[in-house]
Structure 1
Amino acid sequence: MTTPVAPGVSQLRIQRFVNVYFVETDRPGAWVLVDTGLPGSEKSIIAAADQLFYKGTHPEAILLTHGHLDHLGAAKALAAHWKVPIVAHPLELPYLTGRAQYPPRDPTVGGSLAFMSRFFPSQLPNLEDAVQALNTDDPTPPYLPGWRWLHVPGHAPGQLAFFRDEDRTLLGGDAFATCDHDSIPSVLLGTPKISRAGTPFNYDWTAARQSVQQLADLVPAAIGCGHGPVITGPEAAAGLRQLAADYPVPAHGRYVTAPARTDASGVEFLPPAPPDPLPRQAALLGVGLLAAGAAWLLTGGRRAGRQRRPSGGRRG
């Protein structure tokens, strides 16, 4: 089931975790898809599009806010099914075409998302034959007159947000979130709260803060982000303004004091990774479990031997 964001803009929540957006253009029946959710989401997206528009409909194009796996997951399958192009910022192309990998996630910043990020896959689908570079000389996104795109890095090098001035509708990607993105339970519950984007994936905290400040200056009246529910009315602008004024940078983490640097080819510089205590803790836990298991086997074996000896004596 889709949720309206603003006239002609609908949100679809995928697996209670990530959002995609259906955005109508200025032509009747024409629309674009913004982001594609997790891998395997194509059936849900196609079914929602058929219900929202008409059976067999297809978008003019797929626009990606950025190329993290939970945003491009179904892009290749959908582009092949609908025979439409995928469009992304040029700075995302190295990662979308397999020529580079994003700055490594930082599991040391703390929180449940950071803990779980250790186990997220790093390999991305290769979109080389399907993706096109956004024309950065044109402020209007392709197929979306009346909208403009904004470059909002910090979470991904070529991350985009989309804004419609007429009614101040903002699709913010992962420049920020409309839930507590650092808490997996909050994301799954969809509790509304304008907050920073998921901390383990932010590679440049200064750029992330500046991106939020740039979007807050738009004074949006309706907000849809990559994660969290739709927020409309005065709470939208007020919440974003508050986040911009008091942007929380973690106390520690790989990119807190020095950002990763990227260019058109990919990652240019990475600060050293801080020690991650989990592998050592897991190793110690594993050794402890092995020792406990060995002790159980030894003591269990002795008990079994003591229990068998009397019965053997009686038979003799």
Structure 2
Amino acid sequence: MTEPVPPDRALVRPIKLGHANAFLIRGKRPVLVDTGLPGNTPAILAVLKEEGYSPWDLGLIIITHAHIDHFGNAGALAGATGAPVLVHSLEAEALSRGESLPAVPASFTGKVMRFMIGKHAPRPELGIKAVIRLDAPYRLDAFGIDGEILPTPGHTKGSLSVMLGTGEAIVGDLVMGMVLAHKATLPHFAEDSEDVKKSIRTVMEKKPAIVYTGHGGPVSCQDLEALIPG
């Protein structure tokens, strides 16, 4: 079970977009992490409004990695809000082309899923130039948020995670949250499985109280420990 973050401290508002999740981090200027598959722009703008923000209040759009179920609305949201887009420098060019990076199977389930979903053709109309391209930790203080973005490679070489001072973490597809149970599994797709484990340890070192995943979840730090014992 996850240890709840006290409501008066929680900054993260999860946004369920079909099988994928996006997250709004509340702040002086809110920050959006991931955007779901194309077509979810209205739903995300509606959450901004529910939280008392105007579209132009959005301070930043973080893409944890360049898979279409995470960047599908980045261009539309950047246009609607004026918010800059941030991605790892290794994945900026793919994002600019609207190209979903290859999903590299890391398990039998991944191989089956890869066969079922096929390949994603580039979608140039979804391309967006990342204003901020990083390959090192990046603080969010400028947005009134106590937190930082960390490179956590493994699922893709340029995967990113967000660690907040409240004990909340957003890890994209570094781990998968089971849909019907708050437990974690290793990702079904990974460019480097050893890097996945190293990055999970990086997250664990921060001792998060709750870990939000790009699919399913959330999970706990103890769930992460169970994935890579020892």
User: In which range does the TM-score fall when normalised by the shorter chain?
Assistant: 0.7 to 0.9
- Deviation for aligned residue 1:230: 2.6
Cross-structure match for 1:239: 223
Coordinate RMSD, CA, aligned: 2.6
- Deviation for aligned residue 1:62: 0.6
Cross-structure match for 1:110: 108
In structure 2, runs of 5+ residues without a counterpart are: none
Greater share of helix residues, 1 or 2?
1
With over 3 angstroms needed to count, the CA separation of the structure-2 counterparts of 1:94 and 1:115, relative to structure 1, is same
TM-score scaled to structure 2, two decimals?
0.84
Cross-structure match for 2:120: 122
Number of residue pairs matched by the alignment: 221
- One-letter amino acid of the structure 2 residue matched with residue 14 of structure 1: L
Q: Deviations over 1:183-230 (max 9, x none)?
A: xxxx3xx42111112x2x212111111111221222111211111133
CA–CA distance in 1 between the matches of 2:154 and 2:123?
A: 22
With over 3 angstroms needed to count, the CA separation of the structure-2 counterparts of 1:11 and 1:100, relative to structure 1, is closer
- Deviation for aligned residue 1:135: 4.1
TM-score scaled to structure 1, two decimals?
0.63
For 1:207-222, what aligned pairs fall within 5 Å after superposition?
A: 207-222=195-210
In structure 1, runs of 5+ residues without a counterpart are: 180-186, 247-316
- Deviation for aligned residue 1:80: 1.2
Q: Identity rate of aligned residues, in percent?
A: 24
Matched, 1:178 2:177: yes
With over 3 angstroms needed to count, the CA separation of the structure-2 counterparts of 1:69 and 1:100, relative to structure 1, is closer
CA–CA distance in 2 between the matches of 1:229 and 1:100?
A: 26
Q: Deviations over 1:269-293 (max 9, x none)?
A: xxxxxxxxxxxxxxxxxxxxxxxxx
Q: Deviations over 1:76-102 (max 9, x none)?
A: 111111122111110111321239773
CA–CA distance in 2 between the matches of 1:21 and 1:100?
A: 22
CA–CA distance in 2 between the matches of 1:138 and 1:191?
A: 31
Q: Which structure has the larger Rg over C-alpha atoms?
A: 1
Q: Deviations over 1:98-122 (max 9, x none)?
A: 397734533x8322x5323222442
For 1:220-259, what aligned pairs fall within 5 Å after superposition?
A: 220-231=208-219, 236-245=220-229
With over 3 angstroms needed to count, the CA separation of the structure-2 counterparts of 1:230 and 1:144, relative to structure 1, is farther
Matched, 1:150 2:150: yes
CA–CA distance in 2 between the matches of 1:73 and 1:99?
A: 8
CA–CA distance in 1 between the matches of 2:137 and 2:174?
A: 21
CA–CA distance in 1 between the matches of 2:103 and 2:172?
A: 19
